Structure 1
Amino acid sequence: MRHLLHKIVSDIQKQERKLSAEASSFMDEAYRMTVYLKEVLADIKEDIINEGFTTLEDEILFFKQIKPSVLGKLIYYNKVFRIETACPASNGNMYESYFAMHLRELKLEYTEHVCNSDFYRYYRSGRTDRDEQYFTLGKINCYDGLNSFVFEIDTKFSTYFDYKVAKIIANELIYNYLTTKLSPEQNPDVLLQHGETKDFFWTQTKNALIELVYALYACDAISHGKIGIRKISMVFQILFRISLNDIHNSFHRMKTRAGSRTLFLDQLKYSLEEYMDREDNL
């Protein structure tokens, strides 16, 4: 069962990389990932219902890690598509206010419905003592006061709590997505507040930084390629206190540049070689 987990995660990452290069916008990428993940989940469901589980451990692993890894990404991309299609502007105050509103709603949901729940604390602490209760079929207990959503799930393919794990995964991804849409001024809680970083700021163009982010992602330079574009860009935005807005559209405009499509990387190579030559001549 663990090899299935690794294969699913690897296949999703490959599809994300493929669509990141092909899609005309992040909206298009989110839609196509939603369709892809919906099909993946349907295929997995058919296999599980037809074949079942050979061991209790496999069943727990499936509902605690495998299914949530797919469903969490599906919830995330579907949410992103809905947010992108309703966005009132491409930039400016209205644009930032729109994403700030969604971020406030996400934080409110976390405060009111997530952080104080027994299950959330159980899952976050890495405990396993109640896994059989939470992640095996047929253990749903209505006396626990569960959300009414429980009456709509397919009890042959859900323990209810697998969905809650998927929501935790999705909300983390949505949070990262929303913070990259906002400037540091609009979202001060993601700023690095240390005094030693106050002199760090980006002095090239935003497109130059986007070019660098995509280059690092394309060659798996960060976390062996397991970290997505938007998470990498968020780190740079926080470090340099700069807003990159929709890096996906900017990247696709770069692909149609006249002349060199990698202006900044070409400049980096030239500047480094020139610096090396100066060092040799000292």
Structure 2
Amino acid sequence: MEHSLHTIILEIHNKEDKISSQSKRLIDEAYEMTLYLQDLLFEIKKQVIEEGFKNDEEEVQFFRTIKPQILGKLIYYNKVYRIETTCPVSTGKMYYRYFANQLATLKRDYVEHLCNSDFYRYYRSGRTDRDHSYFKRGNINYHDGLNSIVFEIDPEFSTFYDYKTARIISNELLYSYLLTKINPEENPDLILQKPENSKDIFWTESKNALIELAYALYTSASISHGKIGIRKISLMFQILFGITLGDLHHAFHRMKTRAGSRTAFLDQLKTSLEEYMDKDL
């Protein structure tokens, strides 16, 4: 297989950035990413079926990490498109209730189909001792009472558990997306409340500065080896600092086209650190 996990993540990130830089609506972005990821998955499926794998380890690596990243994002963007196209209004109480209901549905699905399963605990713990059972083709155990989707998968390109892994990835992305759609300042009872033990921690620079920092960490794959998206990184900052960052993509697009340095805050950080270092000389 010529595709590595790093290459796949980089390709997807580049496509996301290219689409978001065109100042498209989230509906359009989700639609284009759905088409792109569907084509990417089809291309890799063709390669897998035609060329196969060099050894068992390569096969396990593909179905544990590479395919779920593509399929997970595909499930995510397709769901975002469906949610956005059926949203009744753009603001107000009805808007909040709509996304709050979507969040409740996601949590219910998580409890019923993911978190209570042996596989979920296995995957979350980082174990690898059963990888050859979970992520090699032809090892489906029908005695486990698997979901009926197992009868619809392509045995040449699926292990069933790569789909379960993709669902875990997509659910995490959807969770972050739905939380950012609900304004924490208007709805303080939500999980976006600032943690009690961090009340004295607050952001004193501009929101654009924080967005610039978030994108720097995202594009450099500095957090979780680049496996989480910009929305989740921004959500962590929003929770930590009790701040609402708004539309990330539009803010990023404005940064790309602003006069002077496009990385003003990062330049300032570098200068401040170097000055601090020079004090000890």
Whether the TM-score (by the shorter chain) exceeds 0.5 is yes
Once the two structures are TM-superposed, the CA of residue 223 in structure 1 deviates from its matched residue by 7.2
Residues 187 and 147 from structure 1, CA distance in 2 versus in 1: closer, same or farther, beyond 3 angstroms? Answer: farther
Check whether the contact 2:211–2:248 (CA below 8 A) recurs between aligned residues: no
Deviations 1:83-109 (A, max 9, x none): 111111112211111111111111111
Map of 1:62-141 to 2, 5 A cutoff?
A: 62-141=62-141
Aligned partner of 2:193: which letter? L
Aligned partner of 2:22: which letter? E
TM-score under structure 2 length normalisation: 0.81
Aligned pair partner of 1:212 in 209, 212, 221 = 209
The root-mean-square deviation of aligned C-alpha atoms, in Å, is: 3.2
- What is the CA–CA distance in structure 2 between the aligned matches of 1:222 and 1:136, rounded to whole Å? 31
Residues 53 and 187 from structure 1, CA distance in 2 versus in 1: closer, same or farther, beyond 3 angstroms? Answer: farther
Once the two structures are TM-superposed, the CA of residue 127 in structure 1 deviates from its matched residue by 1.4
- Count of residue correspondences: 263
Deviations 1:184-224 (A, max 9, x none): 225522323225x43566789xxx62x33443345x25672
The structure having more radius of gyration, on CA atoms, is 1
Once the two structures are TM-superposed, the CA of residue 8 in structure 1 deviates from its matched residue by 1.1
- What is the CA–CA distance in structure 1 between the aligned matches of 2:109 and 2:62, rounded to whole Å? 27
Residues 221 and 163 from structure 1, CA distance in 2 versus in 1: closer, same or farther, beyond 3 angstroms? Answer: closer
TM-score under structure 1 length normalisation: 0.81
Look up the SS of the partner of 1:149 in the other structure.
helix
- What is the CA–CA distance in structure 2 between the aligned matches of 1:140 and 1:191, rounded to whole Å? 42
Name structure 1 gaps, 5 residues minimum.
277-282
Moved more, 54-63 or 226-235: 226-235
Check whether the contact 1:26–1:248 (CA below 8 A) recurs between aligned residues: no
Aligned partner of 1:193: which letter? P
Report the counterpart of residue 238 of structure 2 in structure 1: 237
Look up the SS of the partner of 2:220 in the other structure.
helix
Check whether the contact 2:23–2:250 (CA below 8 A) recurs between aligned residues: no
Once the two structures are TM-superposed, the CA of residue 247 in structure 1 deviates from its matched residue by 4.2
Residues 26 and 115 from structure 1, CA distance in 2 versus in 1: closer, same or farther, beyond 3 angstroms? Answer: same
Report the counterpart of residue 278 of structure 2 in structure 1: none
Look up the SS of the partner of 1:40 in the other structure.
helix
Aligned partner of 2:178: which letter? L
Residues 67 and 120 from structure 1, CA distance in 2 versus in 1: closer, same or farther, beyond 3 angstroms? Answer: same
Report the counterpart of residue 279 of structure 1 in structure 2: none
Residues 65 and 202 from structure 1, CA distance in 2 versus in 1: closer, same or farther, beyond 3 angstroms? Answer: closer
Name structure 2 gaps, 5 residues minimum.
276-281
Aligned pair partner of 1:224 in 220, 226, 247 = 220
Check whether the contact 1:133–1:139 (CA below 8 A) recurs between aligned residues: yes
- What is the CA–CA distance in structure 2 between the aligned matches of 1:229 and 1:68, rounded to whole Å? 18
- Would you say 1:38 and 2:38 are equivalent positions? yes
State the percentage of identical aligned residues. 52
Map of 1:1-282 to 2, 5 A cutoff?
A: 1=1, 4-184=4-184, 185=187, 188-195=190-197, 197-198=198-199, 209=207, 211-218=208-215, 220-221=216-217, 224-225=220-221, 226=226, 228-248=229-249
